[in-house]
């Protein structure tokens, strides 16, 4: 009770209407997670039950798994879990669309039923107990709550180093991305409805959501080691996400090319004058080294620039197609207390 009055004072302070206890959906993307999915269902389901009993979330709250085209036994296990308990719902995508699209599919489906949605990885690395603080912040008026990891102790040197470098680069390029926030995040129905208006294929939710500008908050949590299995983010998936992160949020690299072009132009202009003066003085030395350096430099800069421009042209091409960002193959969702009456929705 004490917590509730505290929350209400907070709301009056920021002038927000009192919220009702939300129906909460946990959206859990799964790609080849057969080793961990049963444990996840147990831990996440248990947390939802405890929160419901404590009156922190409303009845009808659920765990919604999104199978992202797994090639192992994940989908069969998920269907079994959902057939035993209406607490669990399963969306299965037609293929492997990637983490971001899987989360999007889950959130866009969950917003039909939920007042708030939290996305969390299947591997239980993100501390589910932080959910209490997500909810407190939601009750106090936040539309978006970002989970931020306390440290990167559980990561290897390579992941830690590249992550730090990457966040610095993103900030340098003007992105509003929140450092050390991976997609463990609460969004209210209002924020999700707004997100639905963004139609981009080049999806980088961590960069996009902060630009929407709702009242938001940050909750810190500890990262644990993966419960089982290994990381599903291959190096190429990581590189794709990293480039999407840059190209979807900023066109600054293009402007940097213009700047670079200008510098190279000034440089070659000066070099031309020097060569001309040399020639006029009769110092007609065969300048092999200078010639090589200049042509290599200009060649390199040109190719790099073309590559960067090409990256954007490719993205424009993909956006212009307006392809669906995911396709739902099957969807299992059952009304509470109707476990026997098999209301299975297949889309
Ligand atoms: N994931 C997904 N589709 C993919 C790759 C990953 O849905 O193509 C899911 C994966 O099952 C997990 C989450 O995204 O629930 C995060 O992946 P992972 O834990 O492998 O990444 P890491 O924590 O190593 O960055
Ligand atoms: Mg993980």
Token code pair at residue 59: 């009845």
Residue among 29, 75, 78, 155 to mutate when testing ligand 1 (max atoms within 8 A of CB): 29
Rounded to the nearest angstrom, the gap between the alpha carbon of residue 169 and the centroid of all alpha carbons in its chain is 17
Residue 207 C-alpha to ligand 2 middle, in angstroms?
19
As a whole number, the mean pLDDT across the chain is 87
Q: Whose CA is nearest to atom 13 of ligand 1?
A: 121
Residue 335 C-alpha to ligand 2 middle, in angstroms?
30
Torsion of CA 244, 159, 230, 106, to 10 degrees: -30
Q: What is the DSSP-derived secondary structure letter of residue 282? A: T
Q: What is the pTM of this model?
A: 0.82
- Using the atom order of ligand 1, give the atom closest to the CA of residue 125: 23
* Higher per-residue confidence, 186 vs 243: 186
Per-residue pLDDT, 341: 44
Report the distance separating Cα 32 and Cα 25, nearest Å: 22
Query: Dihedral of CA 184/188/191/197: which sign?
Result: positive
Q: 75 pLDDT band (50/70/90 cuts)?
A: very high
Residue 179 C-alpha to ligand 2 middle, in angstroms?
17
Residue 308 C-alpha to ligand 1 middle, in angstroms?
27
Would the pLDDT of 99 be above 70? yes
Report the distance separating Cα 346 and Cα 269, nearest Å: 67
- Using the atom order of ligand 1, give the atom closest to the CA of residue 121: 15
Per-residue pLDDT, 4: 46
- Using the atom order of ligand 1, give the atom closest to the CA of residue 226: 19
| 164: CB partners within 8 A, 6+ apart | none
Report the length, in residues, of the chain: 347
Per-residue pLDDT, 340: 45
Please identify which residue in the block is written with the tokens 């107990």: 129
Q: Whose CA is nearest to atom 12 of ligand 1?
A: 121
Residues near ligand 1 with C-beta < 6 Å?
29-31, 33, 68, 96, 98-99, 102, 121-123, 125, 231-233, 237
Q: What is the DSSP-derived secondary structure letter of residue 201? A: S
Give 124-176 pLDDT, tens digit per residue.
999 999 999 999 999 999 999 999 998 766 677 887 888 888 888 888 888 88
Give 258-293 pLDDT, tens digit per residue.
888 888 878 877 888 888 888 788 776 677 777 877
Torsion of CA 42, 83, 106, 110, to 10 degrees: -100
Would the pLDDT of 78 be above 80? yes
- Candidates 179, 178, 192, 83; CA nearest to 138 is 192
Torsion of CA 111, 113, 117, 119, to 10 degrees: -80
Q: Whose CA is nearest to atom 16 of ligand 1?
A: 121
Of the ligands numbered here, which is closest to the C-alpha atom of 66? 1
Q: Whose CA is nearest to atom 14 of ligand 1?
A: 99
- Candidates 179, 237, 239; CA nearest to 207 is 179
Report the distance separating Cα 4 and Cα 162, nearest Å: 42
């Amino acid at each position: 009770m004490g917590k509730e009055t505290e929350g209400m004072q907070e709301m009056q302070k920021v002038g927000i209407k009192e919220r009702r206890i939300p129906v909460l959906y946990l959206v859990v993307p799964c790609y080849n997670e057969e080793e961990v999915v049963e444990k996840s269902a147990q831990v996440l389901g248990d947390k939802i039950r405890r929160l419901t009993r404590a009156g922190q979330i409303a009845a009808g709250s659920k765990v919604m798994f999104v199978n992202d085209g797994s090639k192992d036994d994940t989908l069969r296990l998920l269907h079994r879990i959902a057939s035993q308990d209406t607490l669990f719902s399963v969306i299965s995508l037609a293929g492997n669309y990637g983490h971001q699209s899987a989360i999007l599919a889950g959130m866009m489906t969950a917003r039909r039923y939920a007042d708030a949605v939290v996305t969390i990885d299947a591997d239980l690395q993100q501390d589910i107990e932080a959910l209490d603080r997500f909810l407190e912040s939601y009750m106090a008026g936040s539309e978006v709550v970002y989970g931020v990891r306390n440290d990167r102790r559980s990561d290897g040197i390579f992941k830690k180093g590249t992550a730090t470098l990457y966040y610095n680069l993103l900030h340098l390029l003007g992105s509003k991305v929140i450092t050390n926030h991976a997609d463990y995040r609460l969004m209210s129905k209002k924020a999700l409805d707004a997100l639905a208006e963004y139609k981009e294929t080049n999806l980088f939710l961590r960069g996009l959501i902060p630009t929407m500008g709702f009242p938001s908050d940050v909750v810190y949590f500890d990262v644990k080691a993966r419960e089982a299995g290994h990381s599903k983010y291959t190096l190429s998936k990581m590189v794709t996400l990293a480039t999407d992160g840059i190209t979807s949020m900023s066109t600054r690299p293009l402007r940097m090319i213009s700047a670079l072009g200008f510098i190279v132009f000034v440089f070659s202009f000066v070099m031309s004058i020097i060569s001309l003066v040399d020639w006029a003085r009769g110092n007609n030395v065969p300048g092999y080294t200078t010639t090589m350096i200049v042509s290599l430099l200009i060649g390199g800069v040109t190719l790099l620039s073309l590559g960067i421009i090409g990256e954007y042209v490719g993205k424009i091409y993909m956006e212009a197609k307006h392809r669906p960002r995911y396709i739902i193959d099957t969807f299992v969702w059952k009304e509470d207390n109707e476990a026997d009456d098999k209301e299975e929705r297949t889309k």
